[in-house]
Amino acid sequence: MKKAIVVGAGIAGLATSIRLINKGYRVKVFEQNNYPGGKLSSFSLNGYRFDAGPSLFTMPHFITELFELSGEDIKDHFEYSKKEIACNYFWQDGTFFNAYGDKEKFLKEVKKKFNEPENNVINYLSKAKKKYDLTNSIFLEQSLNKLKTYLSKNTLNALLNFRIFEFQKSLHKVNEDSFSSPHLIQLFDRYATYNGSNPYQTSGIMTLIQHLENNFGTFVPAKGMISITESIYNLALRLGVEFYFDTPVSEIIIESNKVKGIIAKNSFIDSDIVISNMDIYYTYNKLLPDIKKPKIILKQERSSSAVIFYWGIASTFKDLDLHNIFFSNDYKKEFESIFRDKKVFDDPTIYVNITSKDIKGDAPKGCENWFVMINTPADHGQNWDVIVERLKNIVIEKISKKFSVSLRDKIVCEQILTPPLIDSKTKSYMGALYGASSNSIMSAFLRHPNFSKKIKNLYFCGGSVHPGGGIPLCLLSAKIVSDLIPNG
């Protein structure tokens, strides 16, 4: 039986281990932390439970596929339900919008709140769907660095419909040309943050992200986002994957341009193939010290990062749901501040996630667990202690004013995550949440491929390589890697 080693037990590493053991490999996973999941982890504080990282769950069929591949029924191990309201949006002029998961309700709400003709939204989402349908099999499900990807009917069809992708426009420009309501434009601009990018720079093809949420919906796991990690990890264990926690890998061993294994805790472990789920920057700079580095790829602009406040709130807020957005008054300046000035804006957009709205055990009775996230630049050496204190005051003031309450008095416990901490905990270079940004038209083609062109049997998965960051794309990276690797 051939051997495979996965470096890192993030969500992509877990999915890769499952796919490879199903292909006949003996799989070992090495993880520096004492838990699986990477960013997709959880912790408890004073009776409140918090999902530490990703809070949006979409496209559950990618998880279902792992169980089906393994001959199991996901219903026996993982439960989730679709949200009626995908997100609540608040503007400082008093405008409030329920983004319903049902398309008809969504359209009616758009007409009611923004006076936007339904046909404008229907046409917009229809074009977004077409973008997705034309590019899905090319850009998301296959390697962009294999010739066969481009020698297909799908590629030819995409080329014949090239103009529909709106590469030459920014996402904001596409939205501005599509809608009359500034509020709706800002709402759809927000989807650039799903991959840590700037809507005023990222390509208009990114409207396909709206299609994914509006077509597939948003969901809530019955036991929180951590249950995604737990269900996949336990599936891997049942299949026979071997895990080594508290075991950082210090080097990937290469001989004659071929993988031979790894060094972990000063011991050599041989393997036929190695897959790195570590951020591509650290993979080259820490694990492959003697290998020539792809400088252009590693020097790409970083995606946005975040400051996150985990607050135990001794109160409930009836106007809030699982996902809530409090918009900035000047979205353009906010993104200029993040990406151009490398600063945190004075009037930031605030995201509040409250899992206790759906999972009652996540907070004590009459209380709520708040995951409060503010988009920031990656870590360029800013004084994060000063930034955190300023942000905390801004967030408390804005939300207190909105609901006519003293929020500060309701906070009974707190934990804080900053870009430097994201870097140290998850080895995400500079704390960037999605690796490189997608602000350039060529971003998709500049992401590192899922295999090494120079080193045989070396592969890469996770949010810092193709096809990108976020749970669905990380799971797709595992699929791409598996498809590239022959049966064991």
Residues 281 and 367 in one domain: no
Residue after which a domain boundary falls, among 193, 212, 231: 212
Choose among 21, 26, 8, 14: nearest CA to 69. 21
User: Can you tell me whether residue 57 is helix, strand or coil?
Assistant: strand
Residues 339 and 420 in one domain: yes
**pLDDT at residue 150 in the model:** 42
Residues 289 and 305 in one domain: no
Residue 191 lies in a domain: yes
Residue 182 lies in a domain: yes
Residue 143 lies in a domain: yes
DSSP E strands, 303-446: 305-313, 323-326, 350-353, 368-376, 411-417
Beta strands at 368-376 and 242-244: parallel, antiparallel or unpaired: unpaired
Q: Are 359 and 222 in contact (CB under 8 A)?
A: yes
Helix axes 118-135, 171-178, angle to 10 degrees: 140
Choose among 56, 458, 71, 16: nearest CA to 274. 458
Residue 311 lies in a domain: yes
For the entire predicted model, the pTM comes to 0.93
Residues 268 and 328 in one domain: no
Residue after which a domain boundary falls, among 170, 185, 212: 212
The one-letter amino acid at 92:
Q
C-alpha to C-alpha distance for 41 and 36, rounded to whole angstroms:
7
Domain of 184, in residue numbers: 103-212
User: Can you tell me whether residue 389 is helix, strand or coil?
Assistant: helix
Residue 89 lies in a domain: no
Residue 439 lies in a domain: no
Q: Are 357 and 321 in contact (CB under 8 A)?
A: yes
Choose among 423, 408, 343, 426: nearest CA to 370. 408
Return the exposure string of 317-343: e unless at least 16 CB atoms fall within 10 Å of the residue's CB, then b: beebbbbbbbbbeebeebbbbbbeeee
Residue 149 lies in a domain: yes
Q: Residue 203 — φ and ψ, nearest 5°?
A: -65, 155
Residues 11 and 120 in one domain: no
Beta strands at 323-326 and 350-353: parallel, antiparallel or unpaired: antiparallel
**pLDDT at residue 149 in the model:** 47
Residues 285 and 305 in one domain: no
User: What pLDDT tens digit does each residue of the chain (488 aa) get?
Assistant: 999 999 999 999 999 999 999 999 999 999 999 999 999 999 999 999 999 999 999 999 999 999 999 999 999 999 999 999 999 999 999 999 999 999 899 999 999 999 999 999 999 999 888 888 877 665 665 554 554 544 455 555 555 555 666 778 999 999 999 999 999 999 999 999 998 999 999 988 888 788 778 778 899 999 999 999 999 999 999 999 999 999 999 999 999 999 999 999 999 999 999 999 999 999 999 999 999 999 888 899 999 999 999 999 999 999 999 999 999 999 999 999 999 999 999 999 999 999 999 999 999 999 999 999 999 999 999 999 999 999 999 999 999 999 999 999 999 999 999 999 999 999 999 999 999 898 886 665 678 999 998 999 999 999 999 888 899 999 999 999 999 999 98
Residues 206 and 268 in one domain: no
Residue after which a domain boundary falls, among 181, 212, 243: 212
Residues 321 and 360 in one domain: yes
**pLDDT at residue 446 in the model:** 72
The CATH number assigned to the domain holding 467 equals 3.50.50.60
Residues 205 and 143 in one domain: yes
Residues 362 and 476 in one domain: no
Residues 111 and 204 in one domain: yes
Residue 243 lies in a domain: yes
Q: Quick one: DSSP state of residue 456?
A: B
Quote the number of domains for the chain.
3
